[in-house]
Amino acid sequence: MVSSSHEAMHRIFQEDPGIFARTFRALGIPFSDPVAVSLLPTDLTETKPLERRVDTLLRFDTAEDDGFLLLVEAQGKKDPTKSASWAYYLAHLWAKYGTPPVLLVVCQDRTTAAWASGPFTIGPAQWPALTLRPLVLGPHNVPVITDVSVAARDVPLATLSAITHGRDTNAAAILKALASAMKTVDEPTAGIFIELTELGLGNAPAAQIWRDLMAADLSFFRSETSQRLRAEGRAEGVPEGAAKALLALLDKRGIEVSEEARERITACHDTETLITWLTRIDSGASVAELFEDDES
CB 102 within 8 A of CB 68: yes
pLDDT at 227 over 60: no
Q: How confident is the model at residue 110 (pLDDT cuts 50, 70, 90)?
A: very high
Q: Which amino acid is at 248?
A: A
Task: Report the pLDDT value the prediction gives residue 295, as an integer from 0 to 100.
Answer: 52
Phi, psi of 67 (to 5 degrees): 80, -170
Who wins on pLDDT, 254 or 56? 56
Q: Which amino acid is at 105?
A: V
pLDDT at 289 over 80: no
Who wins on pLDDT, 260 or 147? 147
Q: Which H, E and C letters describe 130-173, residue by residue?
A: EEECCEEECCCCCCCCCCHHHHHHCHHHHHHHHHHCCCCCCHHH
Going by C-alpha positions, the residue among 131, 141, 140 that lies closest to residue 110 is: 140
Phi, psi of 61 (to 5 degrees): -100, 130
In angstroms, the CA 175 to CA 76 distance is 21
DSSP letter assigned to residue 283: T
Task: Report the pLDDT value the prediction gives residue 157, as an integer from 0 to 100.
Answer: 92
Percentage with pLDDT > 90 across the chain: 28
Angle at 98 between CA 95 and CA 100, to 5 degrees: 105
Task: Report the pLDDT value the prediction gives residue 45, as an integer from 0 to 100.
Answer: 67
pLDDT in tens, 231-277: 443 444 556 666 777 777 777 667 788 888 888 888 887 766 776 77
In angstroms, the CA 53 to CA 44 distance is 5
Task: Report the pLDDT value the prediction gives residue 269, as an integer from 0 to 100.
Answer: 76
CB 132 within 8 A of CB 29: no
Task: Work out the burial of residue 105: count CB atoms within 10 Å of its CB; fewer than 13 is exposed, 13-18 middle, 19 or more buried.
Answer: buried
In angstroms, the CA 284 to CA 19 distance is 25
pLDDT in tens, 181-212: 988 888 778 888 888 888 888 877 888 888 88
